[in-house]
């Protein structure tokens, strides 16, 4: 059986599908591949790692009926080197041949027998603004853990309350918290942060997208054009994050974000040799930034700022500070401190709904 199809569209679907395939060598070979299903005048593309599911399709001019699982890496590389235009795809029993003119490539197939298709969705679809997915979620995604030994912390915790909703992400060293109006449509759930990151990258010019939630399957699905991507929710108890949210402060600092980011990066050049720790000495007129080097007057940066309250000396992992500064959109930031060993609150000056917390590093005086 042979199919003539647009090379660029075929390559795009394979590349998208491969993002949601399993990358674990211990999983079955079919999960590492992309499942192609010819049905009437469409080719359907499926991939999964059993936590995420991807589905899309391409229209064809003729009816087809087939089921194969391809290994996407070699095929993607081969296709990327072909010219734009039509290609011919020939399906054989144990291989697929892709040709364009006199150029041909033959690729082995995986067995399609073990490939699990995503559960069919029967739930009602809801709309959500893409601005929430593209502009709001980045305030939280960077705070989620990447340590799979604590799967709950790799997720974004959506908390539905009576009057407001909260979204929380933490890796145990920092925490991002967002308060939203009740009009934002979601239920209480823990959604894998990696899925939300990949999903947000698929959004193009849409102002809103559809999604639904299957309670029995614990499956959340987004519909982006002709792409459907789903994830199973993370089950477990999210840690009591409210306990680390500061309820009082003794020092408040207002800083220019761009200048602060530059100063943190300057000091980080030296702090890398000292466990990535930078020290903030907060005075009446501003702050001094220095690495943990034992009180030297070299390798430091100074920044004038508005300071209200007590003088204080506090230390942080500079990587956490840079992550916050790179993701908060405000031109000025506010840092609120209580004690050198208490959680520090970081905010954008004009974003009262967002709070970021970084746990300080203990230093010997």
Per-residue confidence band for 296, with pLDDT thresholds at 50, 70 and 90: low
pLDDT in tens, 308-334: 999 999 999 999 999 999 999 999 999
Per-residue confidence band for 352, with pLDDT thresholds at 50, 70 and 90: confident
Domain ranges of the chain: 2-110, 126-242, 246-358
The token pair at 188 is 């209480």
Nearest C-alpha neighbor of 318 from the set 365, 361, 349? 361
pLDDT in tens, 217-256: 889 999 998 999 999 999 999 999 999 999 999 999 999 9
The token pair at 55 is 């589905």
Contact status, residue 56 vs residue 17, Cβ threshold 8 Å:
yes
pLDDT in tens, 268-295: 999 998 899 999 999 999 999 999 875 6
**Residue 365: pLDDT above 70?**
no
What pLDDT is stored for residue 185 in this prediction? 63
**pTM exceeding 0.85:** yes
Q: Which of helix, strand or coil describes residue 228?
A: strand
Please check whether the two domains, 2-110 and 126-242, share a CATH topology: yes
pLDDT in tens, 181-218: 766 567 889 999 999 998 888 888 888 999 998 888 88
DSSP-assigned letter for residue 299: S
Residue 198 makes CB contacts below 8 A (sequence gap 6+) with: 19, 20, 52, 229
- Residue 160's CB is within 10 A of a number of other CB atoms, namely 14
CATH number, domain 126-242: 3.10.150.10
> Strand 277-282 and strand 286-291: pairing?
antiparallel
pLDDT in tens, 332-351: 999 999 999 999 999 999 88
What pLDDT is stored for residue 233 in this prediction? 95
Distances (CA, A) of 150 to 49, 238, 253: 18, 10, 34
- Residue 106's CB is within 10 A of a number of other CB atoms, namely 12
Q: Which CATH number fits domain 246-358: 3.40.50.150, 3.10.150.10, 3.40.605.10, 3.30.70.20?
A: 3.10.150.10
Could you tell me the fold of the domain covering 2-110? DNA Polymerase III; Chain A, domain 2 (3.10.150)
């Amino acid at each position: 059986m042979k199919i003539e199809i647009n090379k660029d569209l075929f390559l795009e679907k394979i590349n998208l599908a491969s993002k949601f395939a399993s990358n674990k060598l211990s999983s079955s070979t079919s999960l590492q591949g992309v499942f192609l299903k010819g049905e009437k005048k469409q080719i359907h593309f499926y991939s999964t790692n059993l936590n995420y599911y991807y589905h899309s399709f391409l229209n064809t001019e003729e009816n087809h009926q087939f089921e194969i699982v391809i290994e996407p890496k070699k095929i993607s590389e081969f296709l990327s080197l072909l010219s734009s235009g039509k290609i011919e795809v020939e399906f054989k029993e144990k291989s697929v041949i892709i040709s364009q003119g006199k150029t041909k490539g033959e690729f082995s197939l995986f067995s399609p027998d073990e490939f699990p298709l995503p559960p069919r969705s029967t739930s009602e679809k809801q709309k959500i603004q893409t601005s929430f997915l593209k502009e709001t979620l980045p305030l939280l995604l960077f705070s989620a853990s990447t340590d799979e030994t604590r799967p709950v912390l790799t997720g974004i915790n959506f908390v539905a309350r009576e009057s407001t909703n909260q979204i929380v992400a933490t890796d145990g060293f920092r925490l991002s918290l967002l308060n939203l109006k009740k009009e934002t449509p979601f239920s209480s759930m823990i959604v894998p942060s990696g899925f939300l990151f990949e999903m947000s990258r698929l959004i193009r010019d849409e102002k809103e997208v559809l999604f639904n939630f299957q309670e029995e399957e614990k499956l959340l699905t987004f519909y982006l054009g002709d792409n459907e991507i789903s994830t199973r929710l993370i089950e477990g108890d999210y840690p009591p994050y409210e306990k680390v949210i500061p309820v009082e402060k003794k020092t408040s600092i207002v800083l220019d974000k761009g200048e602060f980011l530059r100063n943190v990066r300057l000091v980080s050049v030296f702090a890398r040799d000292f466990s990535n720790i930078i020290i903030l000495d907060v005075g009446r007129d501003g702050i001094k930034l220095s690495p943990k080097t034992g009180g030297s007057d070299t390798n430091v940066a100074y920044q004038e700022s508005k300071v209200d309250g007590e003088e204080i000396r506090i230390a942080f992992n500079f990587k956490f500070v840079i992550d916050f500064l790179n993701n908060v959109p405000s031109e000025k930031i506010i840092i609120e401190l209580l004690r050198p060993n208490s959680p520090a609150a970081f905010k954008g000056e004009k974003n009262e709904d967002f709070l970021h917390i970084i746990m300080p590093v203990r230093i010997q005086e």
